[in-house]
Structure 1
Amino acid sequence: MTTDLTAFAHGIFDAQPFSKFLGAELTDVGPDSAEIRVRVRPELLQQHGFVHGGVLSYLADNALTFAGGLALGGDALTAEYKVNYAKPATGEVVIARARALVTTRRQAVCQCSIYAVSPEGEERLVAVAQGTIVTAGGRAQES
């Protein structure tokens, strides 16, 4: 992992207000991969005490987009993604690990696994996702 790639990825991540709101951390990046973590706290749980599906969906979306964006070499957007919730997420931390499987000039098909981490550090697969990430065409913002 190069310093330039890491700095580039962290610059984008640090500019995301919603990621800051959730307390998310970009913990690892590669040329076609990303890892994002969220520490579980009471505000992120649903009525049964499990991590809310919206938090897991956020992790999938953002990790997929980072992996695809890095593989595409720059600014990227999610065109579509699907999440399969496999088990209830409980624990201290949830982690999304994504990687680009197939990359063309304009899009990357990416896969993500989401794990819940117990207090003892044991990781348990709780959701999987797949998505298509597309180049943003260099536009910083749309009205």
Structure 2
Amino acid sequence: MHKAQDPQFAERIRASFGRQQAMRLIGASMPVIEPGYTEIHLPHKPEITQQHGYIHGGVVGMIADSAAGYAASTLTSHETGVLTVEYKLNLLTPAEGQLLIAEGSVIRYGRTLIVTRADVFAINDGSKTQCAVMQQTIMTLHGKKDNVL
């Protein structure tokens, strides 16, 4: 179990997510924010599919990256930002369903680097199938909060 340094972490994360134009563009939401864990939900819509009708792998990567990055950010102080250094995404099966859920979690929290993972699930007619897994390294930016627009 991870412990948040910032008692207002959920409000901070919600506000930051609200400023993410990319998440707004694809129609994603973040209904779950807990210490070391977040979920991003993305309903299926034709504008984010590829030529076979599946949700595009790049979009799957977007929500995995953001879910895991925000999971890391739940554990930082309010004065610390985070930035993805790298991630490895495995697409396990086509992202086919009415809803995608990216579950981001912290594997190891360090002062400079945070290792996270995301599991992405496609929900199709009540059935939940894992369609992607990602491991990510996050760099902390001490003294650099999110840019406020």
Global fold match (TM > 0.5): yes
CA contact (8 A) 1:69 1:133 kept: no
Q: Distance in 2 between matches of 1:67 and 1:98?
A: 6
The amino acid that maps onto 1:134 is M
C-alpha spacing 1:21/1:100, structure 2 compared with 1 (3 Å): same
CA contact (8 A) 1:68 1:107 kept: no
In the other structure, the counterpart of 2:37 is 33
Question: Which structure dedicates a bigger proportion of its chain to helix?
Answer: 1
In the other structure, the counterpart of 1:131 is 136
CA contact (8 A) 1:72 1:108 kept: no
In the other structure, the counterpart of 1:42 is 46
Write the deviation string for residues 28-85 of structure 1: whole angstroms up to 9, x where unpaired.
Answer: 0111111001111011111011110011000111011111122233421111101000
Q: Distance in 1 between matches of 2:28 and 2:141?
A: 23
Structure 1 position 9 matched with structure 2 position 13:
yes
Structure 1 position 71 matched with structure 2 position 81:
no
Report SS of the residue matched to 2:86. strand
In the other structure, the counterpart of 1:121 is 126
Q: Distance in 1 between matches of 2:120 and 2:114?
A: 19
The amino acid that maps onto 1:117 is I
TM-aligned CA deviation for residue 3 of structure 1: 7.9
Q: Distance in 2 between matches of 1:49 and 1:16?
A: 25
Which ranges of structure 1 fall in alignment gaps of 5 or more residues?
A: none
Q: How well do the aligned residues superpose, as a CA RMSD in angstroms? A: 1.8
**TM superposition outliers: structure 1 runs of 4+ over 3 Å:** none
C-alpha spacing 1:3/1:137, structure 2 compared with 1 (3 Å): closer
Question: What percent identity do the matched residue pairs reach?
Answer: 31
Which ranges of structure 2 fall in alignment gaps of 5 or more residues?
A: none
Write the deviation string for residues 71-108 of structure 1: whole angstroms up to 9, x where unpaired.
Answer: 23342111110100000111111110011011111111
Q: Distance in 1 between matches of 2:123 and 2:25?
A: 21
Question: What is the aligned counterpart of 1:54 among 54, 58, 76?
Answer: 58
TM-score, scaled relative to structure 2: 0.87
TM-score, scaled relative to structure 1: 0.91
